Amino acid sequence: MTDRPLEGRTAFVSGSGRNIGRAIAVRLARMGCDVVVNGSSSQDACGETARLVEAAGARALVAMGDVGRADAVARIADAALSRFGAVDIVVNNAARRPHKPFLETTDADWHAVVDGALTATFLTARAFAPGMVERRWGRVINFAGMKAIKGYFEGAPISAAKHGIWGLTKALSRELGPMGVTVNVVSPGQIRSETATQDDPARVATIPAGFMGAPDDVAAVVAFLASPEARFVNGQMIAVNGGETT
């Protein structure tokens, strides 16, 4: 594999203003990929990610908007395609993770989480997959999590949305795979934020590897799935959790 195996490709990374999303954007840029940086609130954070992408030798576009809204995704797609002509890789990282007892969960609470994760994954794939199919090459990389596998106390909408993403991924992998587009899921475990200086001992105690992951640990797996070398990996969930779940 060359040092910049994604030269000439463009990626859209939702929720890339900080932490895992930022690490993914920068890792893909180092592989030669131009990046559409997306966030729903912090323009400054997304601007800093774009600066890091450009420092890595790639082009960047900041496209703000809530990917759980069809109108926002349509606007983001128009901006991305106008700037770069194509989007070859979609990374659906954005999500909301509120803690709230199920019996107190309102309709608005439910839709905020499910739309921000599951609906957003549907919308972005629908927006960019046609071009991938036309070019017979593409990558859709979605995000689930341990909560999709073992449930989430006081987080029913999160578990439902993330499990739905796994189902959507399996369906799309079968439908789009024959047309050159792979669709996979990354399932992160306990990942410390980019600003944390040390692990939480209570959380480490549940991780067989003995430490919390870093955003770059997740970005490395996304980078592999986005690469040409992952051409035969399709419809899979790859856990990055130090062995906490299997």
Report residue 8: phi and psi, to 5°: 90, -5
CATH number of the domain that 90 lies in? 3.40.50.720
**pLDDT above 60: residue 167:** yes
Residue 110 lies inside a defined structural domain of this protein: yes
* Confidence band of 152 (pLDDT split at 50, 70, 90): confident
What is the side-by-side order of every strand in the sheet holding 34-37? 60-62, 34-37, 10-13, 89-92, 138-143, 181-188, 237-240
| Residue 245: per-residue pLDDT | 79
The predicted-structure confidence for 89-112, as pLDDT tens digits, reads as follows 999 999 888 889 999 999 999 999
Give yes or no for a contact between 242 and 189, defined as CB atoms under 8 angstroms apart.
Answer: yes
Q: What is the domain extent for residue 68?
A: 10-240
Residue 79 lies inside a defined structural domain of this protein: yes
Residue 4 lies inside a defined structural domain of this protein: no
191: β partners: 213
Distance, CA of 218 to CA of 152 (rounded, Å):
21
Better pLDDT: 132 or 155:
132
Give yes or no for a contact between 84 and 61, defined as CB atoms under 8 angstroms apart.
Answer: yes
Of the candidates 242, 170, 174, which has an alpha carbon nearest to the alpha carbon of residue 205?
A: 242
Lowest mean pLDDT among 47-56, 62-71, 147-156: 147-156
**pLDDT above 60: residue 1:** no
Residue 3 lies inside a defined structural domain of this protein: no
Residue 245 lies inside a defined structural domain of this protein: no
Residue 2 lies inside a defined structural domain of this protein: no
106: β partners: none
Residue 61 lies inside a defined structural domain of this protein: yes
Residue 188 lies inside a defined structural domain of this protein: yes
| Residue 67: per-residue pLDDT | 97
**pLDDT above 70: residue 117:** yes
| Residue 246: per-residue pLDDT | 63
Is 0.75 surpassed by the pTM of this model? yes
The predicted-structure confidence for 28-52, as pLDDT tens digits, reads as follows 999 999 999 999 998 999 999 999 9
Number of domains in the chain: 1
| Residue 129: per-residue pLDDT | 98
**pLDDT above 70: residue 186:** yes
The predicted-structure confidence for 8-28, as pLDDT tens digits, reads as follows 999 999 999 999 999 999 999
